[in-house]
Amino acid sequence: MNKKRLFDFEIILPILFGGLSVAGIGIVFLLGSLYNPFESTLRLETNTPYEFIYLGTEPGISTVTAEATSTSTPIATNDFPRPVTDEPQQTDVVLPTRQPTLAATVTPTIPSVLSKVDDTYFQLLYDGDWVSQSNVTDTYQNTLHISFTVGNFVTFTFVGQQVIVSYQSGPSLGRISISLDGKVTEVDQSGPTTQLANWQSAILSRGTHTIVIAHLSGGSVNLDSITIPDVATPTPTSTITLTPTP
């Protein structure tokens, strides 16, 4: 009689081999869970409202699905953020500036009429027997009006701030009276030699003025021209003030 074996090795060996295989697979998964190459990346918060989820489809192939959630963006482990140092960084400092504001104080200019009229000017109103002479050398436009009669006069109205009366001075000439806005001044036209001479008024107020030139005494008097000068006005002045810029 044959003795029966306690264990059938033909059955036990495959079972042991299968158990070892299952244990090896478990160990592989355990090691894989402990070392995940995808977890070796850092995640930095970004403003991108999407999270990328890796979905496995086939071995060695992966797809990326965007999910609308606030996530971090993975960066490579070798791209760590630079550490903060204590080195001072240059920044632009904005300081309040003071810009000049021009505040001009200008002296007003008084307009005046600049003109010079010859003795033949039509607005010179002669009264009496005045004589007009031409081709007189060294006179304005080579003309003169001469009076041989005491009491003759000439009237002129102008706009300005000053008046200049020009005449020819010389021996044996008489005297004239000049009435400017009612104020009378006497002028002697006589002189050692024949030459042009001027009588000049003081500065007048702005407006219209009337001058009357009359033959006061002597054998003869004359008139060459009347000038209304452009009275010089002070140069406009200005001041500069600095106003801080807000």
At 113-159, the pLDDT tens digits run: 479 999 999 999 999 999 999 999 999 999 999 999 999 999 999 99
Residues 120 and 67 in one domain: no
User: Has residue 17 been placed in a domain?
Assistant: no
Total Cβ atoms within 10 A of residue 184:
11
DSSP 3-state of 219: coil
**Amino acid occupying residue 1:** M
Whether the predicted model's global pTM rises above the 0.75 cut: no
Q: Which domain holds residue 55?
A: 40-74
CA distances from 8 to 3, 17, 19, 21 (A): 13, 15, 17, 21
Q: Which of 18, 48, 74 is the last residue of a domain?
A: 74
pLDDT band for position 21 (cuts 50, 70, 90):
confident
- Classified as helix, coil or strand, 235 is coil
pLDDT > 90 fraction of the chain, expressed in percent and rounded: 47
Q: Is residue 157 part of a domain?
A: yes
> What burial letters (b/e) apply to 132-162, b meaning 16+ CB within 10 Å?
eeeebeebbeebbbbbeebebbbebebebbb
Is 53 part of a structural domain of the chain?
A: yes
Taking residues 180-200, what's their average pLDDT? 97
Q: What residues does 176 pair with on adjacent strands?
A: 187, 215
The answer on 220 and 126 residing in a single domain is yes
The domain total for the chain is: 2
Mean pLDDT value across residues 22-50: 61
Tell me the CB-side half-sphere exposure of residue 95, using CA atoms within 13 A: 3
In this prediction, residues 188-200 reach a mean pLDDT of: 97
> What does DSSP assign to residue 68?
S
| Residue 28 belongs to some domain of the structure | no
Q: Please report, as a single letter, which amino acid is at residue 198.
A: N
Q: Considering only CA atoms, which of 122, 133, 215 is closest in space to residue 175?
A: 215
Contacts with 206 (C-beta within 8 Å, 6 or more apart), sequence order: 110, 112, 161
Residue 169 lies in a domain: yes
- 3-state SS class at 234: coil
